[in-house]
Chain A
């Protein structure tokens, strides 16, 4: 009903203003639903993707990623490259030029000082900047004039586009945030919830973890945009409720991350009020295989550490058999539908660095059985469970609490049972599993299980930091309070050497080839990672909303200035 009145309002505005199409604010209100409610609009203090997304309505970086993962200028005039001289030939610096005449929503000009300030803000000690990784390896930032920013790196940076690009690294206004450096960052409530930006909208009201109200920025650089005069970003509930609000009741125009099961996707799409939109990025649901022994019989401090190799998984053929037994297409059909596709890769995109590895896509239960038999695992006592040297093939399979993951656990358990592997399941509350609390035995870093399932991806398009997670020295253990990123405790000097090579290689082709090689080492060569599903972004959009383009490389609201009401 409310939606209908909104529509009527929009229609009335249309009648009153015949030239509505090219006029700012002519299309009335657009209602957006983020079921994980927005906590802050300052991406640097954010605790999740939803904050970065909502913040991108107001704050912008120098350059963003389009739907193909290509950088395009936002506040910058163009993208600096070695060819156009923007990136130094020795790859130690990058020079950005700001667009001329840019102003903040309060009317003051945007200058290079704001860009430099943003760097200082995020790297200030005690600030707890969530995007600190974006500004690593910077030696200094120079601002020779109001429009020029030169970022100098500590050494050659083959991928110099980390700082100031994408929704996770927007530019803040120096005048507004000057008093919020370091420890003061979190007490700047007014600034964090109502930042002054360059984006198409400005915040008028902010209710924490509930609803954000915005209106068109009168100083936005394109006089004809945005078409909507008002934006409401509401939060709360779950993915199903979010999908329903767009697809069934039409109360909202767009709902973020409406990951629901395929049966319901079909049912809701049949309603005809809206459609699901998806785009694939780098998020991969995978099973990680523990290369170390998680046995509870070991003393605390030695469980799941490199001191003891895993008694079963040290044989690569065993790991391969586990991968072969899985029917990835079935997993997609049951759990994700349009939101996923089967994959054998850890890095599924962008195309230049995705390996053409498809060997795992057909399930082969018989082959898996044969492989295990070859490895010496046979069922000698006839209880249906394989054994070898008196040891049963029995494993613990853990993941976080999530309806799809529990279905996946049950399915995979069924297949593994079919090849003679006994599987015990365990699910852990997500806040504990991903919390990283060193005191808890149930975190995914501690990995007190034989295999575990979760999803991970990387920010932007460059996979180097992601591949570097599997270095030997990033293995979690008691000595680093279990804070490593090498979850499966894979360790191969050849892999480490290749990552090192990647860090000094420039040129998209060459880097892509290296990433493919690294990807294959982890997946099809060793099967220490068993990729299952390439999970796309999956959102719902009303039929009355035009101009929406799904993007999996930047925020989903990346082109909100181009959204219009369907006529």
Chain B
């Protein structure tokens, strides 16, 4: 045990402990900075880089000159096939992709964990909840998303306005269709956990179920949940792009990373950099989230923390 750890343990509470352990994880810290950097790039970038991501020169002669440019001072990431600035599009797209990815992942993980823990812990509900999971797993994803959006688009847009409405709808659609894996994984773990000695011991001294779940079960299913979360964020960003691509998501002139990646694929032969930027951004996000997840897992594990 290092001196630093001894000191922190003396002064701070449990969360400070976690943070102290987390800070020791180099990968996680790098990832945290990287993800923070990406978020700043997307949120604050447009305040500095004030080009409209959808601006197209209306003078066609000028517009043709601006098309498909490589990186330059005026356009650090070049321009696309219509002369739109790629840097501005990446910033603007990142806002949506990061927001959709994070929120949709949270929705999916929340539902998945709740269903998984409930099914695994309460035998009575297991059959019902797992058959529900089977049902949702079996539904073809595309028609399901189509129907959800077709049914609720106008209602939700009417209440929340088109922008926020679309966002909420997409996030819910992705979240509601991607929780099943987390649920199955968590349930499997819980089934095994609840027969372990410490849970049996807790139960034998009359600990109520709710307390057993929060104190004993949840901390122990954290690691598969974190894996599901990191994988989920990547899947959500990609699903969003598919939705937008199918005309179900944001309007066609709304760039998102997934969409830029899609559009870039068609140009992979002629302008490969157009695929590289969004691809890199998505990969970096997912990698960062994964390392942060690793760091969190270690930091929250009292056995490792004590090591």
Contacts and interface: CB of A to CB of B under 8 A. Distances in A.
B254 to A, nearest CB: 9
Contact of A261 (B154, B248, B266): B266
Given A401-B245, A407-B82, A414-B56, A264 B269 contact: yes
A424 B154 CA distance: 16
A480 interface: no
A240 interface: yes
A403 B262 CA distance: 10
Contact of A418 (B58, B251, B266, B270): B58
Contacts of A261: 81, 266-267
Given A411-B82, A415-B58, A330 B251 contact: no
Contact of B58 (A334, A417, A441): A417
Nearest to A244: B269
A428 B247 contact: yes
B64 A263 contact: no
Contacts of A400: 247
A292 B202 CA distance: 71
Given A261-B81, A263-B81, A407-B81, A425 B269 contact: no
Given A425-B252, A427-B247, A429-B248, A403 B58 contact: no
Interface of A: 240, 261, 263-264, 267, 327, 329-330, 333-334, 363, 365, 400-401, 403, 406-407, 409-411, 413-415, 417-418, 424-429, 432, 440-441
Nearest to A365: B58
Contact of B270 (A267, A363, A441): A267
Contact of A429 (B57, B154, B247, B267): B247
B155 to A, nearest CB: 12
B204 interface: no
B247 A410 contact: no
Contacts of B64: 330, 333
A400 B248 CA distance: 11
A198 B253 CA distance: 51
Given A403-B263, A414-B57, A429-B146, 14 more contacts: A263-B81, A263-B267, A329-B60, A334-B81, A401-B245, A407-B81, A410-B84, A411-B56, A411-B82, A413-B56, A424-B251, A425-B252, A426-B251, A441-B154
B150 interface: yes
A414 B82 CA distance: 10
B54 A410 contact: yes
Given A327-B60, A440-B150, A409 B269 contact: no
B63 interface: yes
Contacts of A417: 58
A439 to B, nearest CB: 9
B239 interface: no
A363 B252 contact: no
A422 to B, nearest CB: 13
Contacts of A334: 67, 81-82
B64 to A, nearest CB: 7
A330 B58 contact: no
Interface in B255-302: 263, 266-267, 269-271
Contact of B253 (A267, A365, A409, A441): A409
23 contacts: A263-B68, A263-B81, A263-B270, A264-B267, A264-B270, A330-B64, A334-B67, A334-B81, A363-B60, A401-B246, A403-B263, A403-B266, A406-B253, A407-B82, A410-B252, A410-B253, A411-B82, A414-B55, A414-B63, A418-B58, A425-B251, A426-B251, A429-B248
B169 to A, nearest CB: 15
A240 B266 contact: yes
Interface in B5-31: none
Contacts of A411: 56, 82
Nearest to A417: B58
Given A240-B266, A401-B246, A411-B56, A427 B82 contact: no
| Band of interface residues on B | 20 to 34
B246 A429 contact: yes
Contacts of B82: 334, 407, 410-411
The 5 closest A-B pairs by CB, nearest first: A414-B56, A418-B58, A427-B247, A427-B252, A330-B60
A330 B63 CA distance: 9
A274 B252 CA distance: 34
Contacts of A409: 252-253
Contacts of B154: 441
A409 B247 CA distance: 13
A430 to B, nearest CB: 9
Nearest to B142: A429
A410 B266 contact: no
A440 B149 CA distance: 12
A168 B63 CA distance: 43
B203 to A, nearest CB: 52
Nearest to A296: B154
- Residue among B57, B150, B269 with most chain A CB within 10 A: B269
A411 B80 CA distance: 13
Nearest to A430: B247
A346 to B, nearest CB: 24
A427 B254 CA distance: 11
A427 B252 CA distance: 6
A293 to B, nearest CB: 18
A426 B166 CA distance: 13
A414 B270 CA distance: 25
Contacts of B269: 264, 267
A153 B81 CA distance: 53
Contacts of B271: 263
B270 A410 contact: no
B52 to A, nearest CB: 11
B143 to A, nearest CB: 11
B266 A401 contact: no
Contacts of A329: 60
A327 B56 CA distance: 13
Contact of A410 (B56, B150, B245, B248): B56
Contacts of B55: 414
A429 B246 CA distance: 5
A414 B67 CA distance: 14
B83 to A, nearest CB: 9
A227 to B, nearest CB: 33
Nearest to B58: A418
Interface in B150-172: 150, 154
A474 B208 CA distance: 70
A353 to B, nearest CB: 31
Interface string B208-250: 0000000000000000000000000000000000000111100
Nearest to A325: B58
A263 B267 CA distance: 9
Interface in B38-89: 54-58, 60, 63-64, 67-68, 81-82, 84
B6 to A, nearest CB: 61
A333 B252 CA distance: 21
Nearest to A403: B266
Nearest to B254: A425
Contacts of A432: 146, 247
A425 B60 contact: no
Nearest to A327: B60
Contacts of A440: 150
Contacts of B54: 410
Given A261-B81, A333-B64, A427 B270 contact: no
- Residue among A363, A414, A415, A424 with most chain B CB within 10 A: A414
